[in-house]
Structure 1
Amino acid sequence: MDEAIAAGTETALPTALAEPTQPVRAGWITLLFLANIGLWLAIYAPIQVLLPEQVASLHQHLASSSAVPSGGDAVLLSVVMGVGALASLLANPVVGALSDRTTSSRGRRHPWTVACALTGAAGILVVAAAPSVAVMAIGWFIAELGLGGMLATLTAALPDRVPATQRGTLGGLIGISQMLGTVLGALIVIVIVTRMSAGYATCAAIVVAGAVLFVARTPDEPLPREFKPRVPVRTALRRLWVSPRQHPDFGWAWGTHFMVNLGNDLGTLYLLYFLNDRVHYHDPQTGLLILMALYAVALLIAGAVCGTASDRSGKRKPFVIGSAAIMATAAVILAVSPTWSMALVAAPLLGFGFGTYWAAAPALLTQVLPAAADRAKDLGIINIAYSLPLVVAPLLAGVVLGLMNSYPALFALAGVVTVGAVVTVTRVRSVP
């Protein structure tokens, strides 16, 4: 039975494993949308605003006490973000694999969604109280462990419940939720809740609220015990690897997701320092808010328009190729002219490109999954292509900014990486 389930060939598969055919309704979409907003807010409000501020504050305090660690603020921030991203990288496939095997009456994904949201919130609160960069890194590791696991279960909702013909539209909405979480998070911690500790607490509360609301008000079909994979957990975890030789489209799609996310992270994670150190903008936080608002509006338009267009055409790759070209153009603009006026041009271009990508990417990624029984595990591996750039980007940025002190070089690197996605996506054969 295990082989039949893995191949998705059983004619009497339970609802939890069957390919969905009924379009999801507005209420379910809204709750998933809100849960994703809470997740992305809890990830990006700290990354873009709170963590840089806290690192700078702790660094300044150490400088005044003559105990300054080596490296500037950007390098220390890279260490904290890199440690956290490693946790997310581990949590995504592991929580995904465990949820695939879960036979709780509450469903396969919901118990893990709540548990991971609570873990993420606890880690955020540890960061809020951290007296040193080292404790910050520990807290952010715990936070990303939970948030990475929550990402795995929420991502699995797409192939679990959404038919392929509706995934472009839903993918666009997921991209919009990421943008809204990012922008709302920045707005909350910069304008509404200005104390750093209160900002962290607000992020923790919002991610838990979004998870609980989604779990309490939506169904999650349980997996019958007789369909639970009959292999030990330890063996299942060893099988996290998906061979790109056996599943080449999965491998090429993974590479595409990695390239686009790495390019986006290199282009956005250090904007606050860019505005302060290179542009010398008079109010870097307000400047960041302006740029993110432009990014958000463009992403919103692209996600709404291109998601529907992708579903109607049934094609995914042209949208991914177009998105990579637009994002690379934005990066080149900042590399050639790293000024405030050009940032105002590049921000909406980057947002439109990333929104276009999210309008097609979830559909493409879920259409290359190897087996229905391993959806969350395989999507957890796909999500590594989101988490790994948060490890790689700080390392690359640390080298470029620490050794070269060059933001144009950083943006040029973002453009080159994004162009790589054009090469990888064209190698996917099973999705038009």
Structure 2
Amino acid sequence: MNRAAAPEALTEPTEPAGRGWTAALSLANGAIWVGWYGPLQILLALQAAELAPPGTAKESVLAWVTGAGAVVSMVANPLFGALSDRTASRFGRRAPWVLAGVLGGAGALVLLAGAGTVAGMALGWCLVQLTLNTAFAAITAAVPDRVPHGRRGAVGGWLGAAQILGVVAGTGLATVAGGVVAGYLACAGFTVLGTLPYVLLHRDPVLPAGRRPALRLRALLAGFTISPRRHPDLAWAWLTRFLINLGNALALLYLLYYLRDVLHRPDPDGGVLVLTAVNAVTLLGTVVVAGFWSDRIGRRQPFVLGAGVLMTVATGLLAGWQTWPGAVCAAALLGVGFGVFTSVDFALMTQVLPAAADRGKDLGVINIANALPQVAAPVLAAPIVQHLGGYRVLYGVAAGIGLLGALLVRRIRGVA
């Protein structure tokens, strides 16, 4: 069994993965996003408002809690990706880490539900990021393990669709569950249940024990450094993803407070849910189609560039048209742009990986471009909102950063 599986585990795949595998992986991916975005969209903001000490702004509490969690995410994703690369379990390299991560994430969400202080809230959120990033690193690496280059746009599209459905489901659960504690418990249960079909019904390619790299800490840490000079396409792709995600993070971080304090919506929680649903509908209309289209014509860059420009326009609307209709239009345009970006950028990233044997680690390093904006966004957003011009300036800065990221994709040479 191990001898037959070795080429599949360590070389580029040539046979497309089945529909059942893609569906189960997408469901697991969506379940992880429920565990992240129920808190990020609703629950952490409500908890920060409840637990903020007198004289401390709720925005600052939310910023530092989410920033601390993002720091943990940046470490956890490449670390557990590298460990999954080296896992010689008979259940495969990735599935054991998916299961461990979601079970740990559910426990961390329960712990977060009982937090009674800002310190407890920060600890709980850091544990959520640690554990769910363990699972996410393994799920991300499973795609280049099993899917040929020419099919990755389509699979990336299905994963992107699952991602936004996870955001909607997490936001919905957090909104209708009946309080902060019930919201966290609902997200925890969904995260576990949604992952079980992939873990129980599908197995990863097995890495034979004799082919497993040694688990030496120094070598493991040194491997997290990828030379931009040796791999310039990877560096430019990473920077493109980072800047576009930073612009998006700045746009979304204070959305609840924007609706409450700027637009004066009577039900800001419900407003976030409406905007998330609008965003989801338009995203779902583009994410799979863009992935298939990109695969068909064999090009990635025009899609990423166009998506980034469209997201810039949408963020600019939040700065220049501060009304409820403006927010709805911005949410719709962000959905179209982010749908295209999510599927095609994922496929692009898998095509600039340096080595098949280190897919988990390398994708973990790439995924820092998703987590680092969660650290940088609070650092930039809090002073802008409080001292440097408010939400109009915040969304103008977000638009400029996203546009720069979109333009830099043209520096990639190895992928059209």
TM range (shorter): over 0.9
CA distance in structure 2 between the partners assigned to 1:278 and 1:225 by the alignment: 58
Query: Quick one: which of 333, 356, 362 aligns to 2:317?
Result: 333
**1:14 Cα deviation after fit:** 2.3
Aligned to 1:6: none
Q: TM-score, normalised by structure 2?
A: 0.96
Does the CA-based 8 Å contact 1:94-1:380 persist in structure 2?
Answer: yes
Partner of 1:410, secondary structure, is helix
CA distance in structure 1 between the partners assigned to 2:49 and 2:390 by the alignment: 19
- Spell out the pairing of 1:87-126 with structure 2 (5 A cutoff): 87-126=72-111
CA distance in structure 2 between the partners assigned to 1:285 and 1:428 by the alignment: 41
Does the CA-based 8 Å contact 2:95-2:204 persist in structure 1?
Answer: yes
Query: Quick one: which of 198, 201, 208 aligns to 1:217?
Result: 201
Does the CA-based 8 Å contact 1:78-1:394 persist in structure 2?
Answer: yes
**1:402 Cα deviation after fit:** 2.5
Query: Quick one: which of 32, 36, 51 aligns to 2:29?
Result: 36
Does the CA-based 8 Å contact 1:338-1:407 persist in structure 2?
Answer: no
Letter of the structure 1 residue corresponding to residue 13 of structure 2: P
Aligned to 2:222: 238
Letter of the structure 2 residue corresponding to residue 277 of structure 1: D
**1:269 Cα deviation after fit:** 2.3
Partner of 2:286, secondary structure, is helix
CA distance in structure 2 between the partners assigned to 1:408 and 1:170 by the alignment: 37
**1:213 Cα deviation after fit:** 2.4
Query: Quick one: which of 377, 388, 400 aligns to 1:404?
Result: 388
Does the CA-based 8 Å contact 1:37-1:180 persist in structure 2?
Answer: yes
Deviations, residues 166-215 of structure 1 (Å, cap 9, x unaligned): 11111111211111111111111212x12211110111122122233211
Partner of 2:8, secondary structure, is coil
**1:13 Cα deviation after fit:** 5.6
**1:231 Cα deviation after fit:** 6.0
Partner of 2:411, secondary structure, is coil
CA distance in structure 2 between the partners assigned to 1:107 and 1:91 by the alignment: 20
CA RMSD of aligned residues (A): 1.4
Does the CA-based 8 Å contact 1:71-1:402 persist in structure 2?
Answer: no
Q: Which runs of 5+ in 2 are unaligned?
A: none
Q: Which runs of 5+ in 1 are unaligned?
A: 1-11, 63-67
Aligned to 1:85: 70
Letter of the structure 1 residue corresponding to residue 39 of structure 2: P
Query: Quick one: which of 11, 21, 29 aligns to 1:18?
Result: 11
CA distance in structure 2 between the partners assigned to 1:391 and 1:143 by the alignment: 16
Aligned to 1:302: 286
Does the CA-based 8 Å contact 1:129-1:197 persist in structure 2?
Answer: yes
Does the CA-based 8 Å contact 2:6-2:205 persist in structure 1?
Answer: no
- Provide the aligned length of Structure 1 versus Structure 2: 412
Does the CA-based 8 Å contact 2:300-2:348 persist in structure 1?
Answer: yes
Deviations, residues 207-240 of structure 1 (Å, cap 9, x unaligned): 1222332111111111012211246243222221
2:132 is equivalent to residue 147 of structure 1? yes
Letter of the structure 1 residue corresponding to residue 297 of structure 2: S
Does the CA-based 8 Å contact 2:279-2:334 persist in structure 1?
Answer: yes
Deviations, residues 131-155 of structure 1 (Å, cap 9, x unaligned): 1111100110111001112111110
Deviations, residues 73-106 of structure 1 (Å, cap 9, x unaligned): 1111001100111111110000011111111111
CA distance in structure 2 between the partners assigned to 1:380 and 1:248 by the alignment: 17
**1:301 Cα deviation after fit:** 0.5
Aligned to 2:364: 380
2:257 is equivalent to residue 273 of structure 1? yes
**1:37 Cα deviation after fit:** 0.9
CA distance in structure 2 between the partners assigned to 1:108 and 1:347 by the alignment: 38
CA distance in structure 1 between the partners assigned to 2:60 and 2:106 by the alignment: 25
Q: Which moved more, 1:367-376 or 1:219-228?
A: 219-228
Aligned to 1:391: 375
Does the CA-based 8 Å contact 1:302-1:352 persist in structure 2?
Answer: yes
2:364 is equivalent to residue 371 of structure 1? no
CA distance in structure 2 between the partners assigned to 1:173 and 1:389 by the alignment: 24
CA distance in structure 1 between the partners assigned to 2:393 and 2:414 by the alignment: 36
Aligned to 2:170: 185
Aligned to 1:173: 158
CA distance in structure 2 between the partners assigned to 1:246 and 1:24 by the alignment: 31
Letter of the structure 2 residue corresponding to residue 420 of structure 1: L
Aligned to 2:39: 46
Does the CA-based 8 Å contact 2:71-2:371 persist in structure 1?
Answer: yes
CA distance in structure 1 between the partners assigned to 2:214 and 2:50 by the alignment: 52
- Runs of 4+ more than 3 Å apart: none
**1:110 Cα deviation after fit:** 1.0
Partner of 1:315, secondary structure, is coil
Q: Identity percentage over the alignment? A: 45
Letter of the structure 1 residue corresponding to residue 33 of structure 2: W
Does the CA-based 8 Å contact 2:105-2:128 persist in structure 1?
Answer: yes
**1:411 Cα deviation after fit:** 0.8
Letter of the structure 1 residue corresponding to residue 24 of structure 2: L
Aligned to 1:283: 267
CA distance in structure 1 between the partners assigned to 2:307 and 2:279 by the alignment: 14
CA distance in structure 2 between the partners assigned to 1:231 and 1:78 by the alignment: 36
Does the CA-based 8 Å contact 1:75-1:402 persist in structure 2?
Answer: no
Does the CA-based 8 Å contact 2:6-2:207 persist in structure 1?
Answer: no
Q: Which moved more, 1:202-211 or 1:287-296?
A: 202-211
Q: Which moved more, 1:88-97 or 1:284-293?
A: 284-293
Q: TM-score, normalised by structure 1?
A: 0.93
Aligned to 1:3: none
Partner of 2:269, secondary structure, is helix
Does the CA-based 8 Å contact 1:49-1:272 persist in structure 2?
Answer: yes
Deviations, residues 258-297 of structure 1 (Å, cap 9, x unaligned): 1111111111221111000100011111111111111001
